[in-house]
Amino acid sequence: SAVISQKPSRDICQRGTSLTIQCQVDSQVTMMFWYRQQPGQSLTLIATANQGSEATYESGFVIDKFPISRPNLTFSTLTVSNMSPEDSSIYLCSVGPRTGESTDTQYFGPGTRLTVL
Partner 1 sequence: AQTVTQSQPEMSVQEAETVTLSCTYDTSESNYYLFWYKQPPSRQMILVIRQEAYKQQNATENRFSVNFQKAAKSFSLKISDSQLGDTAMYFCAFIDSGNTPLVFGKGTRLSVIA
Cβ proximity to partner 1: between 1 and 82 the closer is 1
Non-local (6+) Cβ contacts of 98 within 8 A are 2, 27, 28, 29, 30
Nearer CB in complex with partner 1: 83/109? 109
Q: Which helix (H) or strand (E) holds 45?
A: strand 44-50
For the chain, the 3-state helix, strand and coil shares in percent, each to the nearest 5, are: 5, 50, 50
Distance in Å, CB of 83 to partner 1, minimum? 19
Closest separation between CB of residue 111 and partner 1, Å?
5
Task: Using the minimum distance from each CB to partner 1, give the nearer residue, 30 or 79.
Answer: 30
Least separation in angstroms between residue 16's CB and partner 1 is 26
Q: Which is nearer to partner 1, 85 or 100 (CB)?
A: 100
Binding site for partner 1 (CB under 8 A): 1, 30-31, 33, 37, 41-43, 45, 48, 90, 92, 94, 96-97, 101-108, 110-111, 113
Residues in the chain, how many?
117
User: For residue 98, what is the DSSP state?
Assistant: B
Check if the beta carbon of residue 21 is closer than 8 Å to that of residue 111.
Answer: no
Least Cβ distance, residue 40 to partner 1 (angstroms): 9
